[in-house]
Amino acid sequence: MKTVSITTKIAGVKLDACIFNTSGPADATLGELEIIARSQSPAITMKSCTLAPREGNPEPRYADLEYGSINSMGLPNLGYKAYIKFAARLKRKYKKPTVASICGMTLAENVTMFKAFNNSAVDIIEFNPGSPNTIGKPIVGYDAGEMDRLLDAVSKVSKKPYGVKLPPYFDLVHFDQIAAVIKKYPVKFVTCINSIGNGLVINPYTEQPLIKPKGGLGGISGKYIKYTTLANVRRFYELFEDKIQVIGVGGVYSGIDAFELILCGASAVQVGTAFLQNGPGIFERIQNELKDFMAVKGYKKIADFRGKLKTL
Ligand code: SIN
């Protein structure tokens, strides 16, 4: 039997497999990034960075849940200069593509960081213009005008291929509005979805929330959000007519989860909570499960089924 291939290309960069780590979980320090580098993740995505280092929100700020997690980390990171250094070192040692995630607090900060990453070893930039957990900062993806302003500014300076990490959308009008903005710029891909913002998980015995920031409000991830991920991947795949790629993330624990996202149009799949909960072996396991399922279906490469969701 001919072997099954799950290679892909994102923003023109070849990945040996279409399953890799998402920005956020266990990717803020060089030690954490080296664990990802040594795993089967074909790329190394780094924690969203800001201009200055950040401690993040008060703890506890993450909790595992039965089917996923809640977090309000608040972007704890070492500042962008550290990630420029890490990227050079990781590239030299592990020869894998690296992905920087930029999440400035202002337009000027974003522009400064995009410019700085132009002269770095990073292969791809994922712009995360508004995390759900930054106290006092709105989720930019829900403000089409602000998204336009930011993309206009960073497009003028970025020399690296870049994509945008998006929050989940629930109203079809909002998909149309944000897609219209993104199409104006040389955005290579969108990553769908960031966590579903501002959920609340409480402990009925102690009568307290599970996490401390924002009175317990935080982003929900994991199995709870897979169906929202699928819908967002599908809708953007259709709206972009495959001219802007879609990376799916949210609720991927198995090869079949990854298969479903690719069937809806994803060119690659990122893994977040499942990596935190299962460790770095998860990348190899999901990749093998995906290959096994593709073999059962008779698919030899992801192009054989990508985007080909059937209708009823
Ligand atoms: C965080 O709060 O640090 C994670 C949120 C994000 O990456 O957007």
Q: What is the CATH number of the domain that holds 148?
A: 3.20.20.70
pLDDT digits (tens, 9 = 90+) for 173-216: 999 999 999 999 999 999 999 999 999 999 999 999 999 999 99
Atom of ligand 1 nearest to the CA of 24: 7
What pLDDT score does 137 carry?
85
* Dist CA 17 CA 132 (whole Å): 29
Q: How many domains does the chain have?
A: 1
**258 Cα to the center of ligand 1, angstroms:** 22
Q: Tell me, what DSSP letter sits at residue 160?
A: S
Q: Establish if 243 belongs to a structural domain.
A: yes
Q: Establish if 281 belongs to a structural domain.
A: yes
Atom of ligand 1 nearest to the CA of 57: 2
**4 Cα to the center of ligand 1, angstroms:** 34
Atom of ligand 1 nearest to the CA of 131: 8
Diameter of the chain measured on Cα atoms: 57
What pLDDT score does 131 carry?
85
pLDDT digits (tens, 9 = 90+) for 209-254: 999 999 999 999 999 999 999 999 999 999 999 999 999 999 999 9
Residue of the CA atom closest to atom 7 of ligand 1: 24
DSSP 194-242: --EEEEE-EETTTTEESS-GGGGEEEEEEGGGHHHHHHHHHHHHHHHTT
Of 173, 302, 176, which is closest to residue 248 (Cα–Cα)?
A: 302
Residue of the CA atom closest to atom 6 of ligand 1: 131
Is the model's pLDDT at 1 over the cut of 70? no
End-to-end CA distance of the chain: 32
Residue 206 contacts by C-beta under 8 Å, 6 or more apart in sequence?
none
* Dist CA 305 CA 301 (whole Å): 8
pTM for the full predicted model: 0.98
Report whether 120 contacts 113 (CB < 8 A): no
**190 Cα to the center of ligand 1, angstroms:** 16
Average pLDDT, the chain: 97
How many CB atoms neighbour CB 148 within 10 A? 17
Q: Which of 21, 71, 211 to mutate to test the pocket of ligand 1 (most atoms within 8 A of CB)?
A: 71
Is the model's pLDDT at 113 over the cut of 60? yes
What pLDDT score does 136 carry?
84
Residue of the CA atom closest to atom 8 of ligand 1: 131
Which element (helix H / strand E) includes 19?
strand 19-21
Residue 107 contacts by C-beta under 8 Å, 6 or more apart in sequence?
149, 150, 153
Q: Establish if 215 belongs to a structural domain.
A: no
What pLDDT score does 75 carry?
97
Q: Establish if 99 belongs to a structural domain.
A: yes
What pLDDT score does 2 carry?
61
**188 Cα to the center of ligand 1, angstroms:** 22
Q: Establish if 206 belongs to a structural domain.
A: no
Is the model's pLDDT at 256 over the cut of 80? yes
Token digits of residue 127: 């712009």
**252 Cα to the center of ligand 1, angstroms:** 18
Of 196, 201, 207, which is closest to residue 231 (Cα–Cα)?
A: 196
Per the structure, the complete domain to which residue 28 belongs is given by 8-56+78-196+222-304
Q: Establish if 69 belongs to a structural domain.
A: no
Residues flanking ligand 1, CB < 6 Å: 23-24, 48, 73-75, 128, 131, 133, 194
Q: Establish if 67 belongs to a structural domain.
A: no
Q: Establish if 133 belongs to a structural domain.
A: yes
**296 Cα to the center of ligand 1, angstroms:** 37
Atom of ligand 1 nearest to the CA of 165: 8
Strand arrangement, sheet containing 44-49: 19-21, 268-271, 245-249, 189-192, 162-166, 124-127, 98-102, 44-49
**39 Cα to the center of ligand 1, angstroms:** 22
**184 Cα to the center of ligand 1, angstroms:** 26
Is the model's pLDDT at 294 over the cut of 60? yes
Is the model's pLDDT at 78 over the cut of 80? yes
Bridge partner residues of 200 (DSSP): 217
Report whether 293 contacts 259 (CB < 8 A): yes
* Dist CA 84 CA 122 (whole Å): 7
